[in-house]
Structure 1
């Protein structure tokens, strides 16, 4: 499933797996994305962490 999502989104598989780990870790720390404000905060943290790990912004296609 992750491989299929990565292909559909045009992302490298390794980067998509990294994003899934970051996203899941933030959920384990109590972050959520049900409300718009929470989603913005969580996505911002995901982007910051992914960039720090040397990956691209996982939401770049949504921002274009």
Structure 2
């Protein structure tokens, strides 16, 4: 059991060395894209919710 854990950790360490990590500039750009898309989706869903709520209020009253 301990041998399997050591093997797993050793292989994991080797895999981490082969990862192609993004540069700081690339990471910031990707974060900006994710935040921008999230805000756009939130605005769209908020607007759709407002419109549907307004329509529902008109139908009910």
- Greater relative CO (CA pairs within 8 A, separation 6+): 1
- The answer to whether the superposition gives a TM-score over 0.5 is no
TM-score, normalised with respect to structure 1: 0.33
Structure ID, larger Rg: 2
Structure having the larger proportion of residues in helix: 2
